[in-house]
Chains A and B, each alone.
Chain A
Amino acid sequence: MPEQKMRGFGDFSDDQHWGDEAASEMENVRMSDVVAAGGQKWMAISVYVSIWTAIQYHLCTNAREGCLLTAVISPDATTAAASIADYHLTSPTGTRGRMNEARRQHQVALASTLSTGTNGRGLLEDAWKNAPAICRPGMTEASYAGILPVGASIAAARKRNLQFRYRTRIHAQDLGSTRIARCLLWQPDMPAAVASQWRDRQRRVFQSVFQTDVAPSTSQTTHVSQSTDPGQPFGYPLAPLPGHSLHPQQPQQTHHGRGRSLQRPGQHPSSRRATPESSSFGSTAPPLLTTAVDDQATYDRAWHVVTAHIALPSSATADDSFGTLAAESQQQSSRRRGDAGANEFYDAFALVINASTLLPRATRTDDILAWHVRQVRAHFAQHVIPLLTGCVADDGDDDGDDEAGEARDDGAGNGHWHAARKGNHYERHMVTVMSSIRTLEAALRLYFYGLNQLLSGFSRLADSSPGLAKDAELLNTRFRRDTHALVSNSASEGLMRSIKAVLTRLAGTILGFPSQDERKGDGGQAPRPAAPGPDDLRVQAARERLLELVQQLHNVGLAGERFQVLFAEVMDLMMSAFVTGAYGGVWSAPDPGSFSVAMDTISRSGPSSATSPCIMSLSDWVENHFARLSFEVLACISSNPQGPLPVSLADVKTYQSLALGRLAALRIGELFDIVLAWPASRPALDDLRATITTATRRRQLTDSFSRSLQIRLLHPGRSTLEILQTYISIIRTLHALDPSKVLLSHVEPRLQLYLCHREDAVRVVVSGLLASPDEIRAARKANEVAKSPREKPQSNGPFATAAMPAMSSSTSRDKPRLHSSVQVDENGASPDDNYSRRPTKLVELALLLNDPAQNRRMAADLDEDLDWDDMNWVPDPIDAGANYKRPKSEDVVGTIISGLGSEEVFIKEFSAVVAERLLSEPTRFDQELRVLDLLKRRFGEAALQSCDVMIRDVQDSRRVDTAIHKARAGQRARALATPAKSAADCRGQEMEYHARILSRLFWPNLDREHFLLPQPVVEQQAQYEQGYESVKSRRKLTWLNQLGQARVELELRDRTVTADCNPVEATVIYAFQRTEDDGDGNAPPVQKSVDELYEQLQMDEDLIAAALRFWVGKGVLCRVAGSKNNYIVVETLHDPAASTTTAVPTASTQDEEGQQHATGELEAPDLRAAAGAKPAVSAKERERREIYWRYIQGMLTNVSATMPLGQMAMMMKISIADGFPWSNEELQDFLAEKVTSGELEVVGGKYRLVKK
């Protein structure tokens, strides 16, 4: 077909000279595929050159505007614009020069061809038709005119027109085909369908490059006014020209002023546009267009009929009903006109569609579909959007509340007020959405009515030209797509918000979130979200409602990308809210029966199979509710029902892993509470273990836990006991979570560091280890008592399957021990009974020490690297350190001990505590022995040797004691042979006296405190000593008077006081003994001053004061009124003035005959008795400072005469075996004291001894 046409114009293409010039241009347009012969070739080339020139020409003038404009028009136009933009951007300056030249050559070529004949007339006319709307600033250039070989104005006009025509063929080059370009030249002879297609494209490209108004119909005809105003009389093309050119263009100019201004400044666009075309029309067209006028008139009439038929209502005032009414009126009117009207429409439609064939002379034709699209757009913008805004507007003022409400949505129990508001919100949002949908539905019905009219026209024509039917189908889908894009892009924020609110509500109901009704009804405790049962009517209703809504949204085009994003957001929110709401604080296993469903699903094969109930229920929820909802909604809005499933099995897996991730985050946040609630929180650990699968999450866990540790535990408000108890829980929890203990090792350092600051940490641990069986029993009982109240909330848990109620309410009940104190901090109050139950010792350690599972390590250590039978072996965790060694058991005790610093420190403290206990209790030492045995296995025999010695000492002394007493009994028996009186006397003087003999080297801190014991005791000591030396020859006893215990019985005038006290107190009260020669009980009570006591007892004043306080506290002594240091015996409670029988300690096991004899079971030293008293501590400290001072002297004498502070501190640290506990600041203070006292001096920042 193109070849034929080309042969037709061979006669004017022989001009060789411009052909050569054009050939050079050919390279620029890269037309390597030009296939032509002879002179025809040159014509083809010239066409291409023209096209190319036109492109280049536009590049520099209008391309930018074109790009901006076309972006909104249609895909094809966008492509064209993109290509233009590409050209423009790649060669903005380089092409300009070449372009000018090309344009010149092009003009030369055209002038010569066109002036030679009339073959190009149709072509010229075609171009002419397009001319009026174009502004061509380049045409008036002087250089341009100068090159014209033919000076005629007609030729000039033709050239202009032609050039414009070529411009509109830009897209031809996009297609890259020579043939098409050739076809374009001979458009009047082309088949109608092709022609109309091309015309459509032509118009679009035209619009993309030049700015024509989108709203009106074709730019060059009067259809604009007629179509929007169907009642007006129809005008002929020539008649309205002058007025028309002014009338519609005036608003255009203002409307698109910005775009126009980008054209050549200084020239008025409308004048340029209007005048040349009318003048050229007037001067050149009439002879040619006599028939064209008729065709044009016919065409325009047909156009009018068609447009009037499908025109949208121009104004709309009725809100919701306008669409339907308009559509009905359309139908009514068409019905009124009856078949005649319909036929008229179809005839006219055929004319309009096939204008190029039927009315070849009608120069101004247009695409009726494009017109309809424009009309729809205009209508939508002018009428529908305001209506939509109206639907949403009344909701705007509540936005703030609304979002706040959503944010609080997952926080349960916001109260009735909020629930009510929430309900109102939902209703209002629903109204907004529904009214919007109805409005859009009505509008779309209108639009599609017009389209269907057109399509039915097409289908009628389809008989004659089959290609049209296919076109119609294509057009239909395209129109639909465009319209939906229009709707979804114009949906306002408010509307989307409303949709979101509605979605949230409905999806929430479907996914099992409790509604406000339930919240209201329940009052205090908010129900947890739970997977709804299969026969829940409410859920089914919500599901139907939601799907219906989504379908409606999809129908009106609101289910586009924005909706999908919205839906994804809502679902994301739902998942988070569900995980938090359903599992927050719920750790215990739900009823396993309720998860039998889950067991049959794919979750069983997942990585988290057979794990905690929470995970199973969550997986079940995701699979059966979450994924189902997603599937249903996405399937609803899917554009391609036959395509792949919107939610695949892999997607479900992904959802599940996402949900598990949320669960992990939740549990990580709760970890500290989980630790506190151990072991009740074991199921929560199962959750964590299954979900903490990546190194990142492990890291997140340790980081988060360390943070909460710092905030909640490691501060001065916690007692060391509490910290250690928590530490035990942490060890057990994290071990259960991660048997490799790597997590623990990441959390521990901070805790250990903090414990090092607690001086009593070691002591608490040791005393805990040594807790007596009684204490252990008591602790067990306390635990049981503590557990029992928890049973009740367990039974009535909501779905949640929750064996534990919400955390906030449960924790204080669950954990009486430590937890109570935690609650104190958080809630400011704690149940009183918790205090009473709180133990004072770390009995857990004693329990653990006796737990065989804890000691497995020792046995396993033997062949730890070769445990081939370990079927549970897993590789070391990825975040384990380089020298990581897998521990075999929990080993709480070992971990805690190693956490407290070196073994030596622990052993030292342990022996101190053991010493204290050995000296304090006369009972057997089973517990100590057992603990000692266990510790020996841990630390080795040698380390605990001193403890062994201590225990043996105590056992030995018992034997020795018995032996001595036996020997003395023998002596007494011999003495009985002497007169009875003396024997009785002897017995009377007797008191029970036992001693413990300690090996000096193996007992810690046995200081001597000097004071004079009561005479009877001294006598006993002497006798005992004697007996000892007879039993063990060549050994001597050194008495540690301040250590021991005494039972004292005081016989006062009106009462008898029995007290267990230490020797110091016994000695002091003995000093108040009435001497023998005071005679009977009428003398006044004994009164002594501190100074007298000091002289009498040679005892440290601090000790005297402490002992006096003790007896004052017992009500035996009181301070004499008016004097500071005098104390008097309180003989009678109610009559202090009465006289006395003075208090005397009496042996408890001895005769109670009122004989005033002091007795004391002066047992051997008690470390704590001495160390516990304050003065003794400060004395110890004084001593320590003295030692340190000697160190410093030794240092400065021997090492270096002058030393700086830092070096001294360093030397102290390395040279003192037990470590140097002072900080540099403390040492500095100490040295400063010495400087003040003149023993040191500072020279040049260094310390030096003052030479004497």
Chain B
Amino acid sequence: MSFIEDSQNSAPDSVQTSKLGAARKGAEPGQNAAKRLQTELMQLMTSPAPGVSAFPSADGNLLSWRATIEGPEDTPYSGLSFKLSFEFPSNYPYAPPTVLFRTPIYHPNVDFSGRICLDILKDKWTAAYNTQTVLLSLQSLLGEPNNASPLNGEAAELWDKDPALFKTKVMDRHKDIEDD
């Protein structure tokens, strides 16, 4: 409860904030991003999508999240789960979050350090997207890779040519990571 800060003579920042008055609204981007992320989190919790989940990371920073995607059925990734990290910029949702696969994954659009090639995380980003939509896009990307612009050429080739080998590579590459 912040009543102490609100009393007349207390910490300097409270005085400043009260001086700023109305200007405060919208003036602190990090504040807005955090608020938005809290709302998104609440949405995720109240209407969860199957196979995806996300949560702020343990350090108490709302701009850094951890997420989990279950591999969709009828894809080589079925039965596997992948951990991701989300780093939200302070002007989120006006800029996309940086999303990385933390679990090693063999996928045409993901490189070996977990970077993802997905248009909505780059130039196609709009403020209408949110964490949940990103997660669902990624989930669908697992089943439908965009082989036109691969980060992993070999995987792109194998996806069409040799699904069995692809599946083996996926299983080889996959490794459950420990929690940090």
User: Which residues of A line the B interface, CB within 8 A?
Assistant: 741-742, 745, 748-749, 752-753, 756, 880-885, 887, 898-902, 940-943, 1187, 1190-1191, 1193-1195, 1197-1203, 1207, 1210-1211, 1214-1217
Instruction: Compute how far the CA of A1207 lies from the CA of B59 in the bound complex, rounded to whole angstroms.
Output: 10
Interface string of B10-52 (1 = CB under 8 A from A): 1110010000011001000000000100110110111010000
Q: Which residues of A contact B65 (CB under 8 A)?
A: 1198
Per the bound structure, the CA–CA distance linking A1207 and B62 in Å amounts to 15
A–B complex contacts, Cβ < 8 Å, 9 sampled: A748-B7, A887-B8, A902-B1, A902-B2, A1191-B45, A1194-B44, A1194-B53, A1198-B67, A1217-B42
A residues near B60, Cβ cutoff 8 Å: 1210-1211, 1214
- Closest-by-CB residue of A relative to B58 is A1199
Give chain B residues whose Cβ lies under 8 Å from the Cβ of A900: 3
A contact residues around B62 at 8 Å (CB) = 1214-1215
The CA of A941 and the CA of B38, in the complex, are separated in Å by 23
Residues on A with beta carbons closer than 8 Å to the beta carbon of B3: 749, 752-753, 756, 898-901
Other-chain contact of B55, A745, A898, A1215 (Cβ < 8 Å):
A1215
Contacts of A1216 in B (CB 8 A): 38, 41-42
Closest to B67 in A: A1198
B22 touches A1217 (CB 8 A): no
Which A residues are in CB contact (< 8 Å) with B55?
A: 1191, 1194-1195, 1197-1199, 1211, 1215
Q: How far is the CA of A756 from the CA of B180 in the complex (A)?
A: 38
A contact residues around B57 at 8 Å (CB): 1199
Say yes or no: is B139 at the interface (Cβ < 8 Å to chain A): no
Chain B residues near A898: list those with CB within 8 A. 3, 6-7
Contact A880 B9 (CB under 8 A): yes
Chain A residue nearest in CB terms to B12: A883
| Set of chain A residues within 8 Å of B2, measured between Cβ atoms | 901-902
* Contact flag A940-B66 (CB < 8 Å), given A749-B3, A1190-B48: no
Is B56 an interface residue when CB atoms closer than 8 A count as contact? yes
- The distance in angstroms between the C-alpha atoms of A884 and B22, with both chains bound, is 21
Residues on A with beta carbons closer than 8 Å to the beta carbon of B48:
1190
Contact A1199 B56 (CB under 8 A): yes
Q: In the complex the two chains form, what is the Cα distance from A898 to B25 in whole Å? A: 18
B83 close to A (CB within 8 Å):
yes
Q: Give every chain B residue within 8 A of A748 (Cβ-Cβ).
A: 7
Among candidates B35, B45, B54, residue contacting A1198 with C-beta atoms closer than 8 Å: B54
Known: A1201-B179, A1215-B56, A1217-B41; 5 extra A-B contacts, CB below 8 A, are A742-B9, A752-B4, A898-B7, A1191-B55, A1215-B62
Q: Is the CB of B53 within 8 A of A1193?
A: yes
Residues of B within 8 A of A1198 (CB): 53-55, 65-68, 83
Q: Is the interface of A mostly helix, strand, loop or mixed?
A: helix
Whether A940 contacts B21 in the complex (CB less than 8 A), given A883-B15, A1194-B55, A1198-B83, comes out as: yes
Closest to A942 in B: B25
Which residues in B have their C-beta under 8 angstroms from that of A1190?
Answer: 45-46, 48
Chain B, Cβ-Cβ closest to A861: B21
State whether A940 touches B8 (Cβ < 8 A).
no
- Identify A884's interface contact among B9, B41, B42, B83, CB under 8 A: B9
Q: In whole angstroms, how far apart are the Cα atoms of A899 and B62 in the complex? A: 28
Q: How far is the CA of A366 from the CA of B107 in the complex (A)?
A: 132
Q: How large is the interface on B (under 10, 10 to 19, 20 to 34, 35 or more residues)?
A: 35 or more
Judge whether A745 and B45 touch: CB under 8 Å: no
Q: How far is the CA of A1199 from the CA of B4 in the complex (A)?
A: 33
A1207 to B45, CA, bound (A): 19
Residues of B within 8 A of A883 (CB): 9-12, 15
Q: Which residues of B contact A1187 (CB under 8 A)?
A: 42, 45-46
Chain B residues contacting A756 (CB-CB under 8 Å) are: 1, 3
Residues of the A chain whose Cβ atoms lie less than 8 Å from the Cβ of B54: 1194, 1198
A882: B residues at CB distance < 8 A: 9
Contact with A along B59-95 (1 / 0, CB 8 A): 0101001111000000000000001000000000000
Q: How far is the CA of A1203 from the CA of B2 in the complex (A)?
A: 28
The reply to whether A1197 and B68 form a contact with Cβ atoms under 8 Å apart is yes
Where the two chains meet, the residues of B that have a C-beta atom closer than 8 Å to any C-beta of A are 1-4, 6-12, 15, 21-22, 25, 35, 38-39, 41-42, 44-46, 48, 53-58, 60, 62, 65-68, 83, 179-180
Inter-subunit contact B35/A1217 (CB<8 Å):
yes
Judge whether A1217 and B53 touch: CB under 8 Å.
Answer: no
Which B residue's beta carbon lies closest to that of A1207? Answer: B58
Distance in angstroms between the alpha carbons of A748 and B54 in the assembled complex: 42
| Bound: A942/B180 CA distance, A | 41
Contact yes or no, A1214 B56, CB < 8 A: yes
Given contacts A901-B1, A1200-B179, contact A940 B22 (CB under 8 A): yes
CA distance A749 to B3 in the complex (A): 8
CA–CA, A1195 and B53, complex, Å: 9
Report yes or no: A942 in contact with B22, Cβ–Cβ below 8 A.
Answer: yes
Chain B residues with CB below 8 A from A1195, complex form: 55
In angstroms, Cα B67 to Cα A386, docked, is 102
Which A residues are in CB contact (< 8 Å) with B15? 883, 885
In the assembled complex, which residues on chain A have CB atoms less than 8 Å from the CB atom of B180? Answer: 1200
Nearest CB to that of A899 among chain B residues?
A: B3
- Closest approach, in angstroms, between the C-beta of B180 and any C-beta of chain A? 8
Taken together as a complex, chains A and B put the C-alpha atoms of A901 and B2 apart, in Å, by: 6
List, in ascending order, chain A residues with CB within 8 A of B25's CB: 940, 942-943
Residue in A closest to B25 when the chains form the complex, CB atoms: A942
CB-defined contacts of A1214 to chain B, threshold 8 Å = 56, 60, 62
**Distance to closest chain A CB from B103 (angstroms):** 12
B58 touches A1211 (CB 8 A): yes
B9: chain A residues within 8 A (beta carbon): 742, 745, 880-885
Docked Cα-Cα span, A884 to B35, in Å, equals 30
A1193 to chain B: which residues have CB within 8 Å? 53
Alpha-carbon separation in the docked complex, A1207 to B12 (Å): 29
Complexed CA–CA distance, A1204 and B3 (Å): 29
Q: Please report the C-alpha to C-alpha distance between residue A539 and residue B133 in the assembled complex, in whole angstroms.
A: 95
The 8 closest A-B pairs by CB, nearest first: A881-B9, A884-B9, A1217-B38, A1198-B66, A898-B6, A1194-B55, A1190-B45, A1198-B55
Q: How far is the CB of B160 from chain A (nearest CB, A)?
A: 33
Q: Which B residues are in CB contact (< 8 Å) with A1201?
A: 179
What B residues does A1207 contact at CB under 8 A? 58
- For the complex, what is the distance from the CA of A940 to the CA of B41, rounded to whole Å? 27
B159 to nearest A CB, angstroms?
28
Task: Name B66's contact: one of A753, A943, A1199 (CB within 8 Å).
Answer: A1199
Q: Roughly how many angstroms separate A1215 CA and B41 CA in the complex, as a whole number?
A: 7
Which residue of A is nearest B60, CB measured? A1214
**B residues less than 8 Å from A884 (CB atoms):** 8-9
Distance in Å: Cβ of A937 to nearest Cβ of chain B:
11
Q: Name A898's closest neighbour in chain B (CB-CB).
A: B6
Identify the interface centre among B10, B39, B65, B180: most chain A CB within 10 Å of its CB: B10
How far is it, in angstroms, between the C-alpha of A344 and the C-alpha of B3 when the chains are bound? 100
Contacts A749-B3, A753-B3, A1216-B38 given: A1200-B58 contact, CB under 8 Å?
A: yes
Of the candidates B6, B42, B83, the one having the most CB atoms from chain A within 10 angstroms of its own CB is B6
Q: Which A residue sits closest to B86, measured CB to CB?
A: A1198
Task: Report the Cα distance A141→B9, complex, angstroms.
Answer: 87
B22 to chain A, nearest CB (A): 4
Report Cα–Cα, A878/B21, bound state, in Å: 28
**Contact A1194–B8 (Cβ < 8 Å):** no
Of the listed residues B3, B53, B62, the one surrounded by the most CB atoms of chain A closer than 10 A to its CB is B3
Q: Separation in Å of the B43 CB from the closest CB of chain A? A: 11
- Measured CA separation A898–B113 after assembly (Å): 50
B66 to chain A: which residues have CB within 8 Å?
1198-1199
Instruction: Collect the chain A residues with CB atoms within 8 Å of residue B42's CB.
Output: 1187, 1216-1217
A749 touches B53 (CB 8 A): no
Q: Point out the residues of chain A lying under 8 angstroms from B22, CB to CB.
A: 940-942
> CA of A1191 to CA of B38 in the docked complex: distance in angstroms?
11
A1156 CA to B94 CA in the complex, in Å? 60
Write out the residue numbers on chain A whose beta carbons fall within 8 Å of the beta carbon of B67. Answer: 1198
Q: Which residue of A lies closest to B66 (CB)?
A: A1198
A858 to B78, CA, bound (A): 63
Of all chain B residues, which has the CB nearest A749?
A: B4
